[in-house]
Amino acid sequence: MRSYSVRDVERILRLSPDTTRNLIKAGFVTPSRGARREYRFSFQDLIVLRTARALIDAHISPQRIRRALERLRNELPESMPLSGLSISAVGDHVVVRDGESHRQVDSGQYLLGLDVSLENGVLQVVEHPQQPTVAVAAATPPAADWFGQALALEGSDPEAALSAWRRAVAEDPRDAAAWTNWGRLLHEQGKTQQAADVYRRALAQVGPDPLLLFNQGVLLEDLGNPGAALTAYQSALEEDPDLADCHYNLARLYEALGKPQHAIRHLGQYRRLVGGDGR
């Protein structure tokens, strides 16, 4: 059965690793662990994560969210059905649709619309508003549309995805997630100097975002600048002390620099953060 990484969650669901960790800590999902103790999510986990975020945004009480998610998980298939999947609000009920079947999950006064499909081997999860909105004429899509287009294009047309990320940050220079994904994709394509420039510009626009700083640290390591990478990782932890992967990278970096005490401290923090579920 296929599993998904934290990066997959970010790309498919547009949930930051920080948001994902918070949902895990809240007990909404309990992902398994990979060979390196990294989180691995099932198909059900992905849908539950996205649904949990939608319900939180709708200001539903934690008790009702937990009840709805427990029942939702029981109704979800273990893998993507060929007919796709839809989770939406019908009146005051959340309904799971799988082909021709309709199953009520829970009652509640909230809005939710998720369409899930598998296209060319890529899982697509799209949220649709359940209330009509007033159409506004525009020459170009809003920033959110560029974000979605970039995510959809990464697997099939990376160059077009890079262009879409560029448009997304031009529309909203404060969108840290768009900057982070743009820099990551450049890095993955080996365009390291361009990625470095993107991270530098992003931090000037957004400020000390922990994920931007973490990605910058990874890039700086690949560029052979461990001192600058160390500073980036430390800055990331100042913004988010629970960034487990950052502790792990620092532990590895300190060990390579001959500072075992620092390495042990960060490795201990990493194990505390990823091992708190008893696995």
Q: pLDDT tens across 15-49, in order?
A: 777 778 878 887 778 888 887 778 888 877 887 88
State the Cα–Cα distance between residues 269 and 251, nearest whole angstrom: 9
Class of domain 6-127: mainly alpha
In terms of pLDDT, which residue wins out, 54 or 159? 159
Q: What is the pLDDT of residue 86?
A: 61
Architecture of domain 143-274: Alpha Horseshoe (1.25)
The predicted pLDDT at position 42 comes to 83
Summarised one tens digit per residue, pLDDT across range 98-149 is 544 444 444 443 445 555 555 555 555 655 544 433 333 334 445 446 877 7
Residue 229: both structure tokens together: 């990478």
Domain boundaries, the chain: 6-127, 143-274
- Which residue from 173, 174, 178, 140 is spatially nearest to 162, judged by alpha carbons? 178
Q: What is the pLDDT of residue 242?
A: 83
What's the number of CA atoms in the CB half-sphere (13 Å) around residue 82?
A: 0
Band (pLDDT 50/70/90 cuts) for residue 91 is very low
pLDDT at position 122 is 53
Flag whether the pTM goes above 0.75: no
Kindly tell me the burial class for residue 192, based on how many C-beta atoms sit within 10 Å of its own C-beta (0-12, 13-18, 19 or more).
middle
pLDDT at position 140 is 46
